Amino acid sequence: MSVVVLISGRGSNLRALVEAGLPVAAVISNQASAAGLAYARERGLGTAVVGHAGYARRDAFDDALAAEIDRFRPRLVALAGFMRILTPAFVRRYEGRLLNIHPSLLPAFPGLHTHARALAAGVKVHGATVHFVTPELDHGPIVIQAAVPVLPGDAEDALAARVLAQEHRIYPQAVRWFLDGRLVLETGVVRVADPDARQSVLATE
């Protein structure tokens, strides 16, 4: 019942998953310099690097990435700051067991630069979302969200820090629900099968 985590950088959400006691078996990155790999090695976790620059085609990279993932036979693949757009074939391969954490209240602000865009739009509430991955970028079924207020005079860095703190709360919760078999996908909507968890799918600061 293990988890493979994919990262591209510092791996702060990886740390949150490991420190929550979740069964992370391995960490894979497309960047050999990713700081999260050093953390994983310190914790005795399996690590691998699949550098995307070595592949001329996106599908070839995804095939190599899948081969590394499958060596660990994970029940779940968790994207944690993995900065690559995955092909539909890769997503289908792990359909129903591929989660992502995104720094906005989806469907608002998919893609990059979410905090700057939220400030520019003048929204009063921002946050983070854990969702199942589908071929459409940042549009998969939502598992859990956390909301934070946008404060008067907020700077991008300050808002990002408050959102990140919530990411570290909700990603371990979503992964734990998945591993416990509590996440049920019904016509594109996620239901948490534990009545006690129903009130926890929207976390607030």
The CATH number of the domain where 7 resides is what? 3.40.50.170
Per the annotation, the verdict on 102 as an active-site residue is yes
Same domain, 194 and 139: yes
Residue 202: which pLDDT band, with cuts at 50, 70 and 90? low
- Can you give the residue range of the structural domain that contains 116? 102-205
Contacts of 12 (CB under 8 A, 6+ apart): 36, 81, 164, 167, 168
Which uninterrupted H or E stretch holds 175? helix 156-179
Same domain, 126 and 171: yes
Which pLDDT tens digit goes with each residue over 1-27?
899 999 999 999 999 999 999 999 999
Prediction pTM value: 0.94
Same domain, 109 and 69: no
Which pLDDT tens digit goes with each residue over 107-165?
999 999 999 999 999 999 999 999 999 999 999 999 999 999 999 999 999 999 999 99
Out of 102, 115, 126, 131, pick the active-site residue.
102
Count of structural domains within the chain = 2
Same domain, 111 and 205: yes
Phi, psi of 45 (to 5 degrees): -85, 155
- State the Cα–Cα distance between residues 9 and 166, nearest whole angstrom: 19
Supply the pLDDT for residue 195: 57
Mean pLDDT across the chain:
95
Same domain, 90 and 134: no
Say if residues 138 and 131 touch (Cβ distance below 8 Å): yes
